[in-house]
Amino acid sequence: MEGIYFYWIMWLAWIVTTFLMKKNKLRVKLSIFLMITILLSKYYVIVGDYTIRVSLFLFLFLGYYLAVKQKQQKSLSLLIMTLTLTFAYSGILLFRVYDPVWFFIDYRLLVSVLIGVLAIYLGKHPIHRFALCMISICQGEFLYWMILGKFYDGLTIGTSACLDMLVIGCLIIFLWMVTEHIITILEHTLQKPAKEKQG
């Protein structure tokens, strides 16, 4: 069922940010964004011949905001990375249309894992990785449906499957971030006894 990953992960994220995060401005902003995105996930806007889901715009704008916030990241390298991931996303979906037999596992998991892993590899900072994931999937979704729009009418950009891939990709990046944090804590914990013995 398309869309189930989106709602489960978004609600879990909202619970974590609302009840488990430290009380600060980031917590408030994240909680508001998550709630608004969930509430507006059933609404669409019509632009030309396309029907576009409002939630897709919200994720795209958040991705751009996070990318701009990363001032140390060079604009050219960011552009190249986002274009690479954008073409990877739309390319896989177009290949699925051409030859679906190759996709013996759920394509949503395949695409989101690929984009998430590439974003982790290319991004230097967690915020940069989230930005890469959101921008590339949103832009890739636009590119994919614009190509199909040459052959079909009345298409919807920002399908439930797209939202699933978006949140799964972000979840992968979050889990990697948590894993890095745990490893750092363990390293500090193990280094303390070694330093005490040396002293």
Rounded-to-integer distance, Cα 131 and Cα 20, Å = 23
User: Percent of the chain at pLDDT above 90?
Assistant: 57
Residue 40: its H or E element: none
> What pLDDT score does 3 carry?
83
Residue 62 has pLDDT above 70, yes or no: yes
Rounded-to-integer distance, Cα 2 and Cα 111, Å = 14
User: Per the structure block, which two tokens stand in for 175?
Assistant: 């889990």
* 45, HSE (Cβ side, Cα atoms, 13 Å): 7
Binned at pLDDT 50, 70 and 90, residue 53 comes out as very high
Rounded-to-integer distance, Cα 137 and Cα 56, Å = 9
Instruction: Name the residue with tokens 């590339």.
Output: 136
Average pLDDT, rounded, for the chain: 88
Helical ranges in the chain per DSSP H = 4-15, 25-39, 54-69, 75-98, 107-122, 126-148, 160-198
User: Per the structure block, which two tokens stand in for 114?
Assistant: 């690929």
Lowest mean pLDDT among 4-8, 62-66, 99-103, 113-117: 99-103
Closest CA to 17 of 3, 34, 2: 34
- The predicted-structure confidence for 142-177, as pLDDT tens digits, reads as follows 999 999 888 877 788 999 999 999 999 999 999 999
- The predicted-structure confidence for 77-89, as pLDDT tens digits, reads as follows 888 899 999 999 9
Average pLDDT on 48-64 reads: 92
